[in-house]
Chain A
Amino acid sequence: KAGVTQTPRYLIKTRGQQVTLSCSPISGHRSVSWYQQTPGQGLQFLFEYFSETQRNKGNFPGRFSGRQFSNSRSEMNVSTLELGDSALYLCASSEGSGEKLFFGSGTQLSVL
């Protein structure tokens, strides 16, 4: 079975731009979650989607949004990028909520 696939692997953007990150979950997994990892704040939950519905949302500003498609693939979008948005964005899929998470390799976003 293929693992969780995230694209792109690396991104460089400038302040004020917007970015879209993509995640393909493991086949059969209906839950997709997004996490932000930074050296200062560690791993922080962004949001979870299950069957195309946002199930939970972390404490991030509205600039961070996401969606899930009928094939369970998910995208997250960050608008009006700030320097502090530089981070590793990890997508994880699971069979259901609260189950073991399978993480992708992440997208390393650098905002200049």
Chain B
Amino acid sequence: ELKVEQNPLFLSMQEGKNYTIYCNYSTTSDRLYWYRQDPGKSLESLFVLLSNGAVKQEGRLMASLDTKARLSTLHITAAVHDLSATYFCAVGEINNNDMRFGAGTRLTVKP
């Protein structure tokens, strides 16, 4: 059975600092997704990673994928308060919306 593990589950960081969230998955998969969820809100898609070595960046967030290690990382650069949210990774396949989500990483950025 496909398992998706994120760590850490809780992350409190100071503004201006860098940090990385890790997402490990247990079986081969076609694609890796990152989503953001603000408290009481729905999920917003951040990145879709399709191949080994894929790297995508948007503002202070950069996601990468290593399919051989079955690992994706979400790197946060110079965190700001607005990045406070829960970040989910999810693993999926082509032609299939049965995405397996990790438990989420609740990020709090403090001034």
Interfacial residues, chain A to chain B (CB-CB below 8 A)? 31, 33, 42-45, 48, 55-56, 58, 90, 92, 94, 96-106
Which residues from chain B contact A102 at a C-beta distance below 8 Å?
45
Which residues from chain A contact B35 at a C-beta distance below 8 Å?
101, 103
Given A90-B42, A104-B42, A105-B42: A98 touches B95 (CB 8 Å cut-off): yes
B84-111 CB mask vs A (1 if < 8 Å, else 0) is 0000101011111111111110000000
Which residues from chain B contact A48 at a C-beta distance below 8 Å?
96-98
B97 contacts A90, CB within 8 Å?
Answer: no
A101 contacts B45, CB within 8 Å?
Answer: yes
B99 contacts A101, CB within 8 Å?
Answer: yes
User: Interface residues of A: mostly helix, strand, loop or mixed?
Assistant: strand
Interfacial residues, chain B to chain A (CB-CB below 8 A)? 30-31, 33, 35, 41-45, 48, 88, 90, 92-104
A101 contacts B97, CB within 8 Å?
Answer: yes
B96 contacts A56, CB within 8 Å?
Answer: yes
In the assembly, what is the distance between CA of A96 and CA of B48, in Å? Answer: 14
A45 contacts B97, CB within 8 Å?
Answer: yes
B31 contacts A98, CB within 8 Å?
Answer: yes
CB distance from B103 to the nearest CB of A (A): 5
Residue of A nearest to B103 (CB): A42
CB distance from A16 to the nearest CB of B (A): 29
Which residues from chain A contact B31 at a C-beta distance below 8 Å?
98
Which residues from chain B contact A97 at a C-beta distance below 8 Å?
94-97
Residue of B nearest to A100 (CB): B45
12 contacts between A and B (CB under 8 A): A33-B97, A42-B101, A43-B88, A56-B98, A97-B96, A98-B31, A98-B95, A101-B43, A103-B44, A103-B45, A104-B42, A105-B41
